[in-house]
Amino acid sequence: MPYEVDADSWQAKIVALELASDVGRRILSLLLEESMSASQISKRLGIPLTTAFYHLARLELVDLIESESRFVEHGPRWIKYYRASSSRIVFNL
């Protein structure tokens, strides 16, 4: 099911900014393939962790991505994993 957004909404502005950003698009592409943590995304794309968190927060705010916390044994600790919500984006005019 496609992600739909009203073109006049504040969400559309954030979606457009993320699609215009190389980092935003690369993060979305990664998350379409598999769920990943911010640290994994940062390492894979060769970007600072703070940059990954910035884009992930914006993408999650507009529901382009979803997250879940998983308990990992090494640590032990909880880690947040992200995945894309949809592979299609529709702007309704």
Contact assessment for residue 34 and residue 28, using Cβ atoms and an 8 Å cutoff: no
CA 87-67-75 angle, 5° bins: 135
Spatial separation of the C-alpha atoms in residues 17 and 8, rounded to whole Å: 14
What pLDDT is recorded for position 15? 97
What pLDDT is recorded for position 74? 81
Structural domain boundaries in the chain: 8-86
Segments in the chain below pLDDT 70: none
Q: What is the CATH number of domain 8-86?
A: 1.10.10.10
Strands (E), 1-93: 3-6, 36-37, 65-72, 77-84, 89-92
What pLDDT is recorded for position 21? 97
What pLDDT is recorded for position 87? 92
79 residue type, one letter: I
Question: What six digits make up the tokens of 41?
Answer: 């995304």
What pLDDT is recorded for position 64? 96
pTM, two decimals, is 0.92
